[in-house]
Each structure stands twice: as C-alpha cells, then as structure tokens.
Structure 1
Amino acid sequence: MRRIIVCTFLTLDGVMQAPGGPDEDAEGGFEHGGWQRPVDDEEVGTAVAGWYERSDAMLLGRKTYEIFASYWPTADPADPFTDRRNGIHKYVASRTLTSVAWRNSTLLEGDVAEAVRRLKASDGGDINVVGSGDLAQTLMRHGLVDEYRLTIHPVIVGTGKRLFADGAIPTALAPVGVSTTKGGTVVGVYRPAGEPDHDSY
C-alpha cells in the first residue's frame, strides 16, 4: 500500500499560499507572495530533500501543476531539485484540464478520491502531495492522508489560503519527528491518529 504524504510550507499562522514568489498565486488579492525565501535556511532544504527519498511520485492539483510545469522543465539544471521534479511521475487532479504535457505526467480520471484510492493500492513508493491546498483538503475529508510533512516558518502574513482551512476534520496527530532549524523554522512530520481527545484542567 502506497502512502499519501502532504508536504507543505506554512507561515506561523498557517498560510500556504504562494511561498515561492510574488507572482506565484495572487488569487483572492493575496499580496504576500514570496514570503518563504527571506525566512528560509539551508537546513530546510536538506529536510525537504529527504522528504523525497522514498517517494516516486507527486500528486498535484491544477494550479500547482500549472505553476510547476511553467517553471521546472526549463529550470537551472544545477538545482538539485530540477532533475528530481522533471523525472518523478506526476499525477494531476483537475476538473478542467483535458491533457498534461509536462514529462511523466498523468491526468487522473473520474472522482479524485476514488482515483487516489486506486493509486494507494497500486505498486510503488510514497506519493507526495505538494502545495495543492484544495486537493489536500479533499484528501483529508476522505481520510486519504497518511502523513503530513510541514515546514512552519517564522513569519505571519495574516491572510491567504490555509492548509487546515475552516471545516477541516478534527484529527489527532502523532509526531514522527519534529526539529527546529537555526533560522527558527519548525520541521515537523506527523501522522493522523484518529479523533482528538477532549479533556479539561
């Protein structure tokens, strides 16, 4: 059984929108694109590279697919992520795309939850969901996420798309590994552990 792993960069207030640049995703009038680089550090890059050691595929929503497909095919070959992004298999969930041209990409057909269940049951390694907030929330609602790998950066932006948006299913998380970089970014790996408990002091 393959695992679905949500890999996401977050601000301290939980925003995942447009970490990579001002023009990456301005949907909703978002004005804080590019928030990650000023607070990034080398240890984050090392941790993220490790997230892909056991994965052999990415699962992307339409918007993230289009952002990646416009950048990575012509990205700097000296960047260690360039060959990895272009070579790895990409599964794309979209209600509007009719084809995908980026090398090693497959457009999922039919209901996305059912398509992902079939992927989980197929042979292969881990499948990383990168960015793709709407898709991640769909997978969460259907209990299809096996692990979260999050970098939580020391910056607050106040608005924007959040990974755990209103309506997220209450879920307990078991920490697999949590560390803090010298730059103050929390690198956390968590697995869903059923419903959260409630108690009082």
Structure 2
Amino acid sequence: MSRIIVCTFLTLDGVMQAPGATDEDAENGFEHGGWQKPTDDEEVGAAIAGWYEHAEAMLLGRKTYELFASYWPTADPGNPFTERMNSMRKYVASRTLTSVEWQNSTLLEGDVVDAVRKLQASGGGEINVVGSGDLAQTLMGNGLVDEYRLTIHPVVIGTGKRLFAGGAIPTALEPVSVSATKGGTVVGVYRPNGEPSYDSY
C-alpha cells in the first residue's frame, strides 16, 4: 500500500495560503503572500528535504500543479530540489485540465477519491500531497490521509486558507516526531489515530 502524506507549511494560526511568494495566491483578497521565507532557517530546509527523500510521487491539485510546472522545469539546476522535483512522478487532480505537460506528470481520471484509493492500493511508496489545500481537505474528509508533515512557523496572519478549515472531521493525531528549530518553527509529523477522546478535569 502507498501512503498518502500531506506536507504543508502553516502559520501559527493555521494558514497555508501563499507561503512562498507575494504573488503566489491572492484569492479572496489575500495580502500576506510570502510569509514563510522570513521565518525559514537551515533546519526547516533540512526537514523539508527529508520529506522528499523517500517520496515515490507527488499528488497535486490544479493550482499547485500549475504553479510548480511554471517554475521547476526552468529552475536553477544548482538547486538540489530542481532535479528531484522534475524527475519525481506527479499525479494531478483537476476538473478543468485536459492535459499535463510537466515531465512525469499524469492527470487523474474520474472521481478523485476513487483515483487516490487506487493509487494507495497500487504500490508501497510515499505519495506527498504538497500545498493543494482543496485536494487535501477532500482527502482528509474521506479518510485517505495516512500522515501529516507540517512546519508551523512563528507568524500569525489572521486570514487565509487553512489546512484544517471549518468542517474538518474531528481526528486524534499520534505524534511521530516533533521538534522546534532555533528560529521557532515547529516541525511535526503526525498520523491519524481514530476519533478524539474526551475527559474533564
């Protein structure tokens, strides 16, 4: 079985929108694009590199696919991520695209939930869901996420798209590893562990 792993950068208040650039995603008037870089450090970079080290493929929604496909094919070949991003297998979930041109990309056909279940059953590697908030929420809502790998950065934005948005299914999470960088970013790996339990003090 392949494992579906959601890899996401979050602000302290849970926003995942447009971490990488000021003009990355201004949907709904979002004005805080590019919030991640000022809080990054070498430890964060090393953690993210580790996320991709054993990944068999990426699973992307349309917006993230188009963003990546416009950047990585011509990115600096000296960047250690460039070759990895271009050579890795990419699965794309979209209701509007009819073709995908980026190297090693495949457009999923039919219902995305059914298609991802087939991917899970087809192999034994890790498939990273990168960005792709709407897709991640669909997968979470259908119990298809096997693991979360999150960097939680020391900044509060207040508005924007959130990974765990309203309507998220209550889920207990088992911490696999959690650490903090010198810059204050929390790097956490968690696995769904059934329903939350409740108690009183």
Give the TM-score band, short-chain normalised: over 0.9
Rounded to whole Å, the distance in 2 between the matches of 1:156 and 1:84 is 31
Rounded to whole Å, the distance in 2 between the matches of 1:150 and 1:177 is 11
Structure 1 equivalent of residue 182 of structure 2: 182
Q: Kindly provide the CA deviation profile for residues 19-56 of structure 1, in whole angstroms up to 9, marking residues without a partner as x.
A: 00011000010000000000110100000111112211
Rounded to whole Å, the distance in 2 between the matches of 1:19 and 1:150 is 13
Runs of 4+ that moved beyond 2 A: none
Q: Kindly provide the CA deviation profile for residues 47-67 of structure 1, in whole angstroms up to 9, marking residues without a partner as x.
A: 011111221100000000000
Q: What amino acid sits opposite 1:149 in the alignment? A: R
Structure 2 equivalent of residue 140 of structure 1: 140
Structure 2 equivalent of residue 17 of structure 1: 17
Rounded to whole Å, the distance in 1 between the matches of 2:143 and 2:161 is 21
After TM superposition, give the deviation of residue 71 of structure 1 in Å. Answer: 0.5
Structure 1 equivalent of residue 193 of structure 2: 193
1:5 to 2:25 alignment = no
Moved more, 131-140 or 116-125: 116-125
Rounded to whole Å, the distance in 2 between the matches of 1:163 and 1:28 is 16
Between Structure 1 and Structure 2, how many residues are aligned?
A: 201
Structure 2 equivalent of residue 166 of structure 1: 166
Rounded to whole Å, the distance in 2 between the matches of 1:116 and 1:12 is 29
After TM superposition, give the deviation of residue 113 of structure 1 in Å. Answer: 0.4
Structure 2 equivalent of residue 91 of structure 1: 91
Q: Kindly provide the CA deviation profile for residues 124-155 of structure 1, in whole angstroms up to 9, marking residues without a partner as x.
A: 41000000000000000110000000000000
Structure 2 equivalent of residue 129 of structure 1: 129
Q: What amino acid sits opposite 1:85 in the alignment? A: M
Rounded to whole Å, the distance in 2 between the matches of 1:168 and 1:141 is 7
Structure 1 equivalent of residue 36 of structure 2: 36
Rounded to whole Å, the distance in 1 between the matches of 2:123 and 2:24 is 33
Conserved? CA contact 2:3–2:124, under 8 Å: no
Partner SS for 2:6 = strand
Q: TM-score, normalised by structure 2?
A: 0.99
Rounded to whole Å, the distance in 2 between the matches of 1:200 and 1:83 is 52
Q: What amino acid sits opposite 1:38 in the alignment? A: P
Q: TM-score, normalised by structure 1?
A: 0.99
Structure 2 equivalent of residue 105 of structure 1: 105
Rounded to whole Å, the distance in 2 between the matches of 1:24 and 1:78 is 23
After TM superposition, give the deviation of residue 123 of structure 1 in Å. Answer: 2.0
Q: Kindly provide the CA deviation profile for residues 60-84 of structure 1, in whole angstroms up to 9, marking residues without a partner as x.
A: 0000000000010011111111001
Rounded to whole Å, the distance in 1 between the matches of 2:28 and 2:148 is 26
Partner SS for 1:52 = helix
Partner SS for 1:120 = helix
Stretches of structure 2 that go unaligned for 5 or more consecutive residues are none
Q: What amino acid sits opposite 1:158 in the alignment? A: G
Q: Tell me how large the CA RMSD over aligned residues is.
A: 0.6
Q: What amino acid sits opposite 1:75 in the alignment? A: A
After TM superposition, give the deviation of residue 199 of structure 1 in Å. Answer: 1.0
